[in-house]
């Protein structure tokens, strides 16, 4: 899908506040509400807009500990990588999972209640996986910036 100036303007609005009305967006960028709605529907259908979610404070719901976990495998066979990707998608503690190039194969962002819960996670997920060579944990002390807005 080729995005034009109107599409980009709509995306800029929706990235900052996904609940802007089509009327408000249209009035600001020079399109009718119907045209804005049609474009938003197409952006969703084409996968440009992947999700519209509420970002919940982890601390408010009892998950104050965020850790980044770098995982390296003994060997990078395709089936091992694919299996790990699938496993990570099923784990609610894993908020994000990135497949990497470099010294480590994956970077996980894990959200949990406390260090004891994180230790249980490592034992249940990483230590038992015979393909894991090593993993390195970094504990997040403070989230200085967390944004999902692309510079469009």
Provide the CATH number for the domain around residue 93. 3.30.70.920
Residues 6+ apart with CB under 8 A from 107: 68, 69, 70, 71, 96, 97, 98, 100
- Is the residue at 115 inside a domain? yes
Token pair of 120 as six digits: 């249980």
Domain that holds residue 10: 5-45
Residue 65 shares a structural domain with residue 101 = yes
| Cβ atoms of 133 and 73 closer than 8 Å | yes
Is residue 64 located within the same domain as residue 133?
A: yes
| Same domain, residue pair 16 and 77 | no
**Is residue 148 in some structural domain?**
no
152 found inside a domain: no
Two tokens, residue 103: 């010294």
What is the residue-level pLDDT of the chain in tens, covering all 152 positions? 999 999 999 999 999 988 999 999 999 999 999 999 999 999 999 999 999 988 899 999 999 999 999 999 998 678 999 999 999 999 999 999 999 999 999 999 999 999 999 999 999 999 999 999 999 999 999 999 999 899 99
Asked whether residue 75 falls in the same domain as residue 32, the answer is no
Supply the pLDDT for residue 76. Answer: 65
In a domain, 82, yes or no: yes
Task: Flag whether 151 is in a domain.
Answer: no
pLDDT for 78 equals 86
| pLDDT attached to residue 77 | 79
Distance CA 13, CA 18 (A): 7
């Amino acid at each position: 899908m080729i995005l034009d100036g109107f599409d980009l303007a709509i995306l800029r609005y929706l990235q900052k506040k996904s609940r802007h009305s089509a009327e408000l967006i249209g009035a600001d960028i020079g399109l009718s509400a119907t045209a804005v709605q049609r474009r938003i529907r197409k952006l969703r259908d084409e996968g440009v807009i992947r999700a519209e979610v509420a970002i919940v404070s982890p601390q408010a719901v009892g998950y104050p500990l965020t850790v980044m976990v770098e995982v390296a495998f003994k060997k990078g066979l395709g089936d091992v990588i694919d299996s790990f990707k699938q496993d990570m998608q099923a784990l609610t503690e894993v908020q994000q999972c990135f497949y990497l190039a470099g010294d480590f194969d994956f970077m996980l962002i894990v959200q949990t209640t406390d260090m004891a819960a994180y230790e249980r996670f490592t034992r249940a997920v990483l230590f038992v996986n015979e393909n894991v060579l090593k993993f390195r944990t970094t504990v997040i002390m403070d989230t200085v910036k967390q944004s999902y807005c692309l510079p469009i």
